[in-house]
Amino acid sequence: MSKKKTSLSSKSTRTNTETEYISAREVLKNKKYSVGQTFKALRICDEMTQTELAKKLKISRQHLCDIENDRKALSIERVVSLAKAVGYPAELFVYYHFRAQLQKVGIKKDIKLVDL
């Protein structure tokens, strides 16, 4: 069995279907991603290696790998600081963070962030 190759183009990445491309904007709209999956997808869209992004975030490459693979629990403060460090909306990552926490305990509801 052979693995599918992933090829990159400017600000997009090829998915499992060889002809479909996902832009960073489409990644941000995907409400099925976890915080870690979102960081990974955006990193790939931005054509960065784990090492490059880890340096930008001031964390180790292994720590980033653990975040991308949802092996690290993140505090809300950490989620916000990481989102700001990569220049993406913190609110989106907060949404993913809370939604994942709800799903983890079996609550299958969506959430909505509203201005106070």
* Structure confidence by residue, pLDDT tens digits, 48-70: 999 999 999 999 999 999 999 99
Tokens 């959430």: give the residue: 111
pLDDT at 6 over 50: no
For residue 23, pLDDT beyond 50? yes
Q: Tell me the C-alpha distance between 26 and 54, whole Å.
A: 23
> What CATH number does domain 8-104 carry, 1.10.260.40, 3.40.50.720, 1.10.3720.10, 2.170.190.11?
1.10.260.40
Quick: pLDDT tens for 67-102.
Answer: 999 998 899 999 999 999 888 889 988 988 898 888
pLDDT at 10 (0 to 100) = 36
Q: Please tell me the distance from the alpha carbon of residue 54 to that of residue 74, in angstroms, as a whole number.
A: 15
